[in-house]
Amino acid sequence: MIGLKGLDYLDFEKPKILAFCGKGGVGKTTCASSTALHFAKKGLKTLLISSDPAPSLSDILEVNVRGNITPINYCENLNAIELDYDLVVKRWKEKFGYEVYEVLSSFLPVGEEIIEYIAGAPGIDEEFALSYVLDIYESSNYDTIVWDTAPAGGTLSLIKLQDKFYKHLGEAAKLYVKVRKALEMLTKGRARRDPLNIIASWEKLAERVLNMLRDRRTHAIIVTIPEALGVHQTERVFKELEAFGMYISKILVNYVITEDICVCDFHRQRANMQKYYLNILKNRYEKKPGLAILPQLPREVRGIKAINKVEELLF
């Protein structure tokens, strides 16, 4: 059985992120929870974050961690939080809402109601999730941050959006300088702060997020399953994360049916099917970045005993 050995040697002198990526339903939250437990048991102060829009972290931990960083009472060094959509939007409005209003009101005759409109835009919650992780990353309050990300499509789109946002902010500032005098006449100085300063602060924030994602202390672990859809999705996610400059630490294949599970015809056929796709994954990823395999378990993973079992299998 190949485990996640190879993560233990990492340098914990500074905060580090282990981001679990992959399509929905492959067991990202389970693997993230077990990994967070592992590092917490080693004495490292660990934060487990889930930004999955359909979260299951509270169910797996059997502790309500929705919306607030919560100590996990059965593990001394482990805290966890499940980002709640409504709370995220509320925090986004508190942190960025008025800045958005100040910039837009320097271009257009809009009132503060524009904040509510922008807050409801698709992707705002995911965008804030990146800012939230960045704040914790830069705070140095934790040795390790284990991040259960949104399903692959949302995560990749968010990273691309962040990259585009950073590039476009520079152009936005140049455009504003060109039309500044005309805008000031039209809006009659409605903005309280210089929008250029606000745009510059957004540009710096976007750059810090990108640096965090591309830092070698940030490790992406792609979780997949030995089926056609899993193989195709893994290839796409691997290529896009690699092209973006993120460090991919492991490919973790979950729900693998091993020979000792059952000898019935159903499981024999499933095992043969999986063996075909496992060989494809091994040929592509066993040397780089390395393959980890987690067997199909007979029961759902819920509670400390089950999480401990997965942690033993992974490490």
Check pLDDT > 80 for residue 194: no
User: CA-CA distance, 80 to 35, in Å (whole number)?
Assistant: 12
Give residue-wise pLDDT tens across range 203-258: 788 888 888 999 989 999 999 999 999 999 999 999 989 888 899 999 999 999 98
Residue 298, preceding peptide bond in cis (omega within 30° of 0): no
104-143: burial string, b at 16+ Cβ within 10 Å, e else = bbbbeeeeeeebeeebeeeebbbbbbbbbbbebbeeeebb
Find tokens 């294949």 and name the residue: 253
Q: Which of 16-25, 195-204, 248-257, 281-290 has the lowest mean pLDDT?
A: 195-204
Q: What pTM did the predictor assign?
A: 0.84
164-185 pLDDT tens trace: 655 555 555 565 555 555 555 5
- Cβ atoms 97, 143 nearer than 8 A: no
Looking at residues 304-309, what average pLDDT do you find?
92
Question: Which fold, 16-89+121-314?
Answer: Rossmann fold (3.40.50)
- What are the CB-based long-range contacts (under 8 Å, 24+) for 205-210? 205/131, 205/134, 206/162, 206/165, 206/166, 206/169, 207/166, 208/134, 208/138, 209/130, 209/131, 209/134, 209/162, 210/162, 210/163, 210/166
Mean pLDDT of 144-157: 76
pLDDT level of residue 273 (50, 70, 90 thresholds): very high
The size of the chain, in residues, is 315
Quick: pLDDT tens for 107-144. Answer: 667 788 878 877 777 667 777 788 889 999 999 899 99
Bigger pLDDT: 234 vs 8: 234
The residue ranges of every structural domain in the chain are: 16-89+121-314
Token pair, residue 217, equals: 């202390």
Res. 3: pLDDT tops 80: no
